[in-house]
Structure 1
């Protein structure tokens, strides 16, 4: 596939398709949102503050990390560094789908990124790899995730109790399983194992020897470099 996707467009049908496809996973997001609402109240945030954080930040891992640093005196610099380290992957995620969005008007191009998260990005990246041109699925998937995240937070705020440790029920692996499913459903090429292996090994090394959360960006960079140095078979044959 070429680096760009000519004819890429966004319409209501694509948005509705994205909402429908992301709906099953969004049900689990409600549980995470509920847990965040409960945890936020326990850390001293008001119900309105918890809801505003979920609605405006829309980054579950970063929000939970921020709660760990929350208190009477908030360490601003560590808070900024932690949230940046967790969300730095979005720099690479945005760059990966930039060729797909390049043909859209600026308002659609940049507006669609506001709702980008791991799950709808993975769905969009897999769709682009399969030749899909309707970018509305990225937006629709993001809308579904955002609505259920805010709804879950609201439920946690209202009831004041819930699942505070979702990992006890295996719910913390739902996102990872979804991303793995997107990978398995993508291009079947053994050469893809090299960048993924490089990313995994680099991430494991970073988890062992580098500061917390740095493994996300280290693994992504390692995989990207490996992909650049050893392109997929189709690309090698095209340049031969």
Structure 2
């Protein structure tokens, strides 16, 4: 019986269009939620003086709500390119762990198929796919299906927000200012590892509070996150 189950798992197709359809339907609500956040980002980009094409390309090529929100807080003229790149790397480091996990999960899927799927990988689509795999439904088609509505919402929302007749001041300016904090807060539950998380999280918070008054909110999150990550790595925690 055990051999039969292992044989069935080994011969199961790693990508199915049925899985894509299930994932797409399951992730449809993200078109609205990501669209709203993307619209705020689009209005904020217009307020910075970016053109329509560069604003949409940010959401298309960077495609990271957290990284884009943090770099939004770092924006200046001329743009601090090195600091922005460092912020993107730091805030997106978690995708190294996600990618490694997906490599084990879909080891039999050719890279020519997997790499385009990973281009629109999101935190929620990763979590949904891992949950499906835990139930015995391992399907990269589901991962792709989940990711597409999220990408449509974020990129399309950025475009619509930029083109909408909305002022980048007032309530929207407040919303844009809180985007970095909102995205980081949304990720916290997925990063909690029990009592072992207390020490690095405390160090991270202390470092962020220390520099927030002088360097600003975005630098505070970047430096605080780096301190916490370094403390965790030096202690030898698993990713």
Q: Tell whether 2:224 aligns with 1:212.
A: yes
- Secondary structure of 2:50 counterpart: coil
Equivalent of 2:71 in 66, 70, 88: 66
Q: Tell whether 2:119 aligns with 1:114.
A: yes
Kindly report which structure 2 residues correspond to 1:55-204, keeping only aligned pairs within 5 A, or say none: 55-161=60-166, 163-166=172-175, 172=182, 176=186, 195-199=193-197, 201-204=199-202
Distance 1:168 1:46, change over 3 A: closer
The match for 1:187 is none
C-alpha contact 2:207 2:224 (8 A) present in aligned 1:
no
The alpha-carbon deviation at position 208 of structure 1 amounts to: 1.9
Gaps in structure 1 of 5+ consecutive residues: 184-192, 228-240
Determine which structure has the larger helix proportion and give its number: 2
The match for 1:23 is 28
C-alpha contact 1:115 1:146 (8 A) present in aligned 2:
yes
Distance 1:168 1:107, change over 3 A: closer
C-alpha contact 1:38 1:161 (8 A) present in aligned 2:
yes
**RMSD value, Cα:** 3.3
Distance 1:17 1:224, change over 3 A: farther
Distance 1:82 1:159, change over 3 A: same
CA–CA separation in structure 2 for the residues paired with 1:223 and 1:25 = 37
The alpha-carbon deviation at position 110 of structure 1 amounts to: 1.9
CA–CA separation in structure 2 for the residues paired with 1:19 and 1:223 = 40
CA–CA separation in structure 1 for the residues paired with 2:98 and 2:231 = 13
Gaps in structure 2 of 5+ consecutive residues: 1-5, 209-222
- Secondary structure of 2:49 counterpart: coil
C-alpha contact 2:41 2:158 (8 A) present in aligned 1:
yes
CA–CA separation in structure 1 for the residues paired with 2:122 and 2:198 = 20
Distance 1:88 1:164, change over 3 A: same
Distance 1:80 1:124, change over 3 A: same
The alpha-carbon deviation at position 222 of structure 1 amounts to: 9.0
The alpha-carbon deviation at position 80 of structure 1 amounts to: 1.2
